[in-house]
A = this chain, B = another copy of it.
């Protein structure tokens, strides 16, 4: 094992949810070591959080961090950006400009304008941009993708995807939930509510596994909780190049659902079904034969799944392992770059292109919904 990659973090101060997840994910395989951070836009909080985490270097703002780290010999090689959406583009650009690899939470940005600016910078940078659509890291998602690509379902016809939660059933944003506050705030989240927060995950997953290119969508966005500024439910019809069709449902107001991300894909020859809350199973039905329950690491595992699994079949892996797989892939890609080599073909992670696709998805949903669910191109 080579020395761990030196990692910085922007955002993720004490109390943040996703920052802690990124830290565990980075640590799990021993490929990264967190050494620097601008953990909060409040300097005091940034310092305290850094101390609590035992960070070598704490910065009050990400610009200073980018500048100084870029100059150090032992400066960070990569940075994790785990701020709310509207604070993605700024830091990403600063680090990319200086050749520091960026691992950024989703969705890409809060606005299309930011996304475009970021894309331009990224194109000119030698550094990698990895977007943490973490569900693509689950081994059985990789298995599904590989099976589809290998033709196990034949030509695809249907892609049904949903991401369903219930935590915004009531106005949590008005009863002290920080998570709810920024996610329902257009200034920090962008134009999409449920659409941006979880709809993009569902959309990304559907595209990742199916390999299909979406052509158009028709969306009916709703705000069910009075006074909320962003959609808390999205009903979307989709059409793909080549004739496949699909439905996407994203909701944060469906009681009894925690993180119900579910994907079902059907083709001329078979079907695949997967659910994030039970991620170690993949249900495969070759048309006309009994349904099979494939298990992570079990019989029928393909190489793309095997290479991102750590424990034997029946010893479940979960959300953190899937997330960590993106970090592991990032590490492989970064090390290849550092060695002047091409990133190996089997290394898979969501990129800026996926981030832009997600932004177009949100934008299209909002636009379509504004036109009474008319079809809009993607």
Contact = CB atoms under 8 A, between A and B. Distances in A.
Interface of A: 1-3, 17, 20-21, 23-24, 27-30, 52-54, 153, 157-158, 160, 165-166, 169-170, 218, 220, 222, 224, 233, 235, 237, 239, 243, 245-247, 249, 251, 253-260, 264, 266-271, 273, 276-280, 283-295, 298-300, 310-321, 372-375
A266 B278 contact: no
A43 to B, nearest CB: 20
Given A27-B28, A288-B299, A372-B375, 13 more contacts: A2-B54, A23-B30, A153-B255, A235-B247, A254-B264, A254-B266, A255-B266, A255-B269, A255-B287, A289-B299, A310-B320, A316-B316, A320-B320
Listed residue (A30, A257, A291, A293) with the most chain B CB atoms within 10 angstroms of its CB: A291
B277 A280 contact: yes
Contact of A373 (B237, B256, B270): B237
19 contacts: A17-B312, A218-B218, A218-B220, A218-B373, A222-B245, A237-B373, A247-B247, A253-B266, A255-B287, A256-B266, A258-B313, A276-B316, A277-B280, A277-B314, A290-B293, A290-B299, A311-B318, A316-B318, A317-B320
Nearest to A285: B256
A288 B29 CA distance: 29
Nearest to A3: B54
A290 B280 contact: no
Ranked nearest first, the 7 interchain pairs of A and B with the lowest CB-CB distance are A258-B314, A256-B285, A259-B314, A318-B318, A315-B319, A316-B318, A256-B271
B260 A314 contact: yes
A230 to B, nearest CB: 16
A263 to B, nearest CB: 13
Contacts of A321: 318, 320
- Number of copies of this kind of chain in the complex: 4
A269 to B, nearest CB: 7
A340 to B, nearest CB: 22
A54 B166 CA distance: 45
A265 to B, nearest CB: 9
A277 B316 CA distance: 6
Contacts of A287: 166, 169-170, 255
Contacts of A256: 266, 270-271, 273, 283-285, 291
Contact of A237 (B157, B237, B245): B237
Contacts of A373: 218, 237, 373, 375
A17 B251 CA distance: 39
B158 A233 contact: yes
Nearest to A251: B158
A28 B301 CA distance: 26
Given A293-B291, A310-B320, A235 B233 contact: no
A267 B374 CA distance: 27
A317 B257 CA distance: 17
Residue of A276, A292, A318, A374 with most chain B CB atoms under a 10 A cut-off: A318
